């Protein structure tokens, strides 16, 4: 991504024009030399003489797959997200100050102007922060923010259940596989994934009608902004935010999950003598620090459930605690995340979906049963009756029928 039709001076002039007093800002945090990158945009940090700070996101076409329409669509999607968050009363996201998703403007590119979240990105490892009270403080705040987000944005929907929502996501992958747009996975991979989804969701947490809420979807430490006393001042990185069934919105935050650094990798990177069951057990077992962190989350949720001063939040806390307390929560997180993250389904499939590290009956499966794959093919064809004949034939062929 490279700015070709504008200069930093153009951005400063446009920002000045958006202010009633027409004051001129300055670029800060080194973005005069190198803008930040994230969410498909170049991000310039601006500060005005009165210390008001803005984040100026410019959505520039890259030299590969993006088009003017796709860039405009991405900018509009993010503008809509911030508008909905503001109108819902949620207080922890940047505020949308101005946006233009067209190209007929002074910088000839779609842009968003957001308020700047003060502070620095949270540094979170097994050893940092080292003080237990600081880690507990962060855990409590993250839980409260997730519950607040759900409370502000939840809606009863005529849409699909959690299980159906995930199946539909995998079904769209099957169609992309047939079209040659998902080269890392096969139709059988998708059908195996589909068969495992029933073990990744909690049927007891399905509501009628279904309850949906906005999920941040990238709650990693880098997107959690804190001050020097570990007070969370806000969340950034809302590019992947979407409306999801409640229990999906309440899955593990990314910084409390176990996931590969880069799931997009060739099969050849796996050692030939690897024991997949041993690998799965070791991979899914959280570190001692992560065990403590997750325990702190559950303890805080329990205190919210026991309290009586905020019954609605206590009810939401019950759902989140149920999700977080499952013995297979690490595995469930990965199976669900593989519906949305490129390359993760292939990574899991190459490791037998980490079944050997799960608890209960799944750990004894060894592989996804062949009959289960056939049943999922039948379900896929029944649920997508109007699909192209080429897709239907490809699925039947993959199953040997």
Per-residue model confidence (pLDDT) at position 126: 93
Q: pLDDT tens across 350-380, in order?
A: 999 999 999 877 777 778 999 999 999 999 9
Average pLDDT of the residues of the chain: 92
**Residue 97 and residue 54: Cα distance in Å, rounded?**
9
**105 neighbors 92 (Cβ within 8 angstroms):** no
**Residue 99 and residue 286: Cα distance in Å, rounded?**
42
Confidence of residue 67 (pLDDT cuts 50, 70, 90): confident
Per-residue model confidence (pLDDT) at position 159: 78
Per-residue model confidence (pLDDT) at position 264: 66
**380 neighbors 191 (Cβ within 8 angstroms):** yes
Per-residue model confidence (pLDDT) at position 1: 44
What is the residue-wise DSSP string for 245-296? EHHHHTSPPGGGS---S-----GGGS-TT--HHHHHHHHHSPPHHHHHHHHH
Q: Mean pLDDT over residues 119-130, rounded?
A: 96
Best CA proximity match to 210, nearest among 219, 201, 197: 201
**373 neighbors 174 (Cβ within 8 angstroms):** no
Q: pLDDT tens across 281-290, in order?
A: 999 999 999 9
Residue 193 CA, chain-centre distance (Å), reads 19
**Residue 193 and residue 352: Cα distance in Å, rounded?**
10
Stated as kind and residue range, the H or E segment containing 235 is: strand 232-235
Q: Structure tokens of 301?
A: 């949720």
**Residue 37 and residue 1: Cα distance in Å, rounded?**
9
Q: Mean pLDDT over residues 210-215, rounded?
A: 95
Percent of the chain clearing pLDDT 90 (strictly above): 80
Q: Structure tokens of 19?
A: 């202010």
Q: Mean pLDDT over residues 181-197, rounded?
A: 95
Confidence of residue 158 (pLDDT cuts 50, 70, 90): confident
Q: Mean pLDDT over residues 270-279, rounded?
A: 82
Q: pLDDT tens across 313-353, in order?
A: 999 999 999 999 999 999 999 999 999 998 999 999 999 99
Residue 66 has pLDDT above 80, yes or no: no
Q: Mean pLDDT over residues 20-28, rounded?
A: 95
Q: Is 398 helix (H, G, I), strand (E, B) or coil?
A: helix
Confidence of residue 269 (pLDDT cuts 50, 70, 90): low
**Residue 353 and residue 375: Cα distance in Å, rounded?**
18
Domains of the chain from N-terminus onward: 8-116 (3.30.200), 132-398 (no CATH)
Q: How far is CA 269 from CA 95, 131, 222, in A?
A: 44, 37, 28
């Amino acid at each position: 991504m490279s700015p070709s039709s504008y200069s930093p001076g153009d951005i400063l002039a446009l920002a000045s024009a958006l202010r009633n007093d027409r004051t001129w800002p300055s670029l800060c945090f080194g973005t005069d030399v190198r803008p930040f990158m994230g969410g498909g945009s170049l991000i310039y940090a601006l500060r005005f003489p009165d210390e008001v700070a803005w984040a100026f996101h410019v959505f520039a076409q890259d030299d590969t797959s993006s088009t003017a329409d796709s860039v405009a669509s991405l900018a509009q999607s993010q503008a809509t997200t911030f508008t909905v968050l503001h109108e819902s009363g949620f207080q922890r996201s940047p505020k949308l100050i101005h946006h233009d998703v067209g190209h007929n403007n002074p910088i000839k590119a779609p842009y968003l102007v957001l308020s700047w979240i003060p502070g620095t990105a949270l540094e979170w490892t097994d050893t940092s922060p080292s003080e237990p009270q600081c880690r507990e403080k962060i855990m409590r705040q993250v839980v409260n923010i997730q519950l607040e987000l759900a409370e502000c944005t939840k809606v009863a929907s005529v849409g699909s259940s959690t299980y159906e929502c995930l199946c539909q996501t995998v079904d769209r992958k099957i169609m992309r596989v047939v079209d040659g747009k998902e080269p890392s996975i096969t139709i059988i991979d998708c059908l195996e994934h589909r068969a495992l989804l029933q073990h990744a969701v909690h049927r007891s947490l399905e509501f009628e009608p279904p309850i949906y809420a906005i999920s941040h979807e990238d709650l990693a430490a880098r997107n959690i902004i804190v001050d020097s006393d570990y007070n969370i001042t806000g969340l950034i990185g809302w590019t992947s935010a979407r409306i999801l069934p409640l229990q999906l919105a309440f899955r593990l935050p990314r910084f409390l999950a176990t996931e590969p650094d880069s799931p997009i990798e060739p099969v050849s990177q796996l050692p030939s003598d690897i024991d997949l069951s041993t690998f799965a057990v070791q991979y899914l077992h959280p570190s001692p620090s992560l065990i403590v962190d997750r325990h702190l989350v559950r303890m805080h949720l329990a205190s919210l459930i026991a309290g009586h001063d905020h019954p609605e939040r206590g009810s939401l806390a019950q759902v989140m605690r149920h999700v977080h307390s499952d013995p297979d929560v690490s595995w469930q997180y990965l199976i669900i995340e593989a519906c949305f993250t490129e390359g993760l389904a292939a990574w899991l499939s190459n490791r037998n979906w980490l079944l050997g590290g799960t608890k209960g009956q799944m750990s004894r499966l060894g592989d996804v049963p062949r009959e289960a794959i056939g049943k999922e093919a039948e379900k896929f064809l029944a649920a997508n009756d109007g699909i192209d004949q080429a897709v239907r034939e490809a699925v039947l062929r993959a199953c040997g029928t």
